[in-house]
Amino acid sequence: MTATVKYDEVEVGQELPAKTYPVQRVDLVKYAGASGDFNPIHWDEPFAKSVGLPDVIAHGMFTMAQGGRYVTDWAGDPSAVVDYGVRFSSMVVVPHDDGTEIEISGVIEDKLDDNRVVVALTARSGGQKVLTRAKATVRLA
């Protein structure tokens, strides 16, 4: 595959459309199975509250994966992402009945050689920024 976004069609400072990803507890259980991380803070509400958390929380790597999903959806090719990193800044709390949402947006921060761009991401949930220093380097067409 090749990225569907063209290098010549993006500019530094260009904002990418925000996208919202719903998160339900079942998503966390599926992620636990895929990742092998069965820590009960991610699925057992009484346990999570007993250790001082407000409720069940999403895995940090699940949250990071939503940022990666955002970038690959935008680029049109998962293999276009050549580097990706984040810092975790707040928890994604996932209430039982309604779940929550993670909203992710991006901006082209830099254009590099070899058709690569740096995309700075913003991820929020429950009014809090949940990822900081979130950046992906993407090779475009």
Please give the Cα distance from 10 to 130 (Å, whole number): 26
Please give the Cα distance from 98 to 103 (Å, whole number): 16
Backbone φ, ψ for residue 58 (5° rounding): -70, 150
Q: How many residues are recorded in the chain?
A: 141
The two structure tokens encoding residue 109: 């921060």
pLDDT tens for 8-58 read: 999 999 999 999 999 999 999 999 999 999 999 999 999 999 999 999 999
DSSP tag of 5:
S
Question: Can you list the positions of beta strands (E) in the chain?
Answer: 15-23, 81-88, 100-111, 116-125, 128-139
Q: Which residues contact 39 (CB under 8 A, 6 or more apart)?
A: 32, 59
Over residues 99-120, the mean pLDDT reads: 98
Predicted local distance difference test score (pLDDT) of residue 3: 86
pLDDT tens for 54-74 read: 999 999 999 999 999 999 999
Residue 141 has pLDDT above 80, yes or no: yes
Residue 100 has pLDDT above 80, yes or no: yes
User: pTM for the whole thing?
Assistant: 0.94
Q: What is the mean pLDDT of the chain?
A: 97
